[in-house]
Amino acid sequence: MTTPALPMSPALAGRLAGDPLVLLLDIDGTLSPIAPRPQDAAIAPATRETLAALARLSDVHVVAISGRAAQDAARLVGLDSVWIVGNHGIEIAAPGATPEIHADIARFAEQLSEASTDARAVVEETPGAILEDKRWTLSVHQRLVARDAIAALDARIADIANKHRLALTHGKEVLELRPTVKIDKGTAALELAVRLGALAGGASLLSGGDDRTDEDMFRALRSRESRWVTVHVDGGSVYSTAAEFSVPDPEAMRALLRMVLEQRVARARTVAR
């Protein structure tokens, strides 16, 4: 069972008041509503403004951590002041910088290219299915597929994963083909937490996500530091989450982030006096 993050309790506010504050935020379903097609997703202007204001604070680091390719995630976020983690941790880009991939991923390029060709053929034969080729991972979206056709689609994509020796994971209405390397949102979240100073005494960290792939992040963070805050964006999920807190939807996540912003701005004004 999770604890509602809203209204924000004094105890939760205290856990988010440290310096620095690291924000690790999924995009689709967390910062933006889930869209029928990946290309239709959009972050509300009010959410983008809140992220921009947080990123401008000297003691806050904002990280968008997504299953999308880093370039696509950066396009959707639309802020050069935000760190971007793409492809579930395979790509990492500092604010305004070119994404870098882990050294042990490049060797999977040929397998992924061949798997993409095979997956595209399956998708073209399955009405409603969408292939998102992110170079280092492949996503097959099922949201628009007839419910009685999903089992067959799952089986064919699983066969492709086995043929090309790739890992297969299940997300929210999506299948993911990935390199068989232990890199996920959990490993990426811990890497950025260390890199950005969240392990320092008095630091704070908040992570938010809505999908099964975000559970890797929640488990990794909670096992490392119990004081770090993990928030599941429920969105009608039918599975249990490893997160400690929850909000119902992206609008509520924006409200939570806004409260964090206002708390820090108010504190800065008090100190300035």
DSSP string covering 51-68, please? HHHHHHSTTEEEEEE-SS
Look up the CATH number of the domain holding residue 267: 3.40.50.1000
- 98, 10: one domain: yes
- Specify whether 210 is catalytic: no
Place of tokens 């975000």: 214
Could you tell me which residues are beta bridge partners of residue 211? none
Going from the C-alpha of 49 to that of each of 7, 45, 180, 202, the distances in angstroms are 21, 6, 37, 27
Q: Compute the CA torsion angle 37, 140, 47, 215 (nearest 10 deg).
A: 150
- 220, 91: one domain: yes
pLDDT of 236 reads 72
- 202, 252: one domain: yes
Look up the CATH number of the domain holding residue 142: 3.30.70.1020
- Is the distance from CB of 16 to CB of 62 less than 8 angstroms? no
pTM for the whole thing? 0.89
| Count, residues in the chain | 273
Q: Which residues of the chain carry a pLDDT beneath 50? A: none
CA 184 to chain centroid: 10
- 18, 110: one domain: no
Range of the domain at 154: 106-178
**What is the maximal distance between C-alpha atoms in the chain?**
66
Domain boundary among 138, 160, 178: 178
- 163, 51: one domain: no
Phi, psi angle pair for 137, to nearest 5°: -145, 160
Catalytic residue among 19, 26, 80, 234: 26
pLDDT of 272 reads 66
- 16, 82: one domain: yes
- In the chain, the number of structural domains is 2
- 143, 72: one domain: no
- Is the distance from CB of 52 to CB of 79 less than 8 angstroms? yes
Place of tokens 């409603």: 128
- 145, 218: one domain: no
- Is the distance from CB of 258 to CB of 48 less than 8 angstroms? no
- 88, 20: one domain: yes
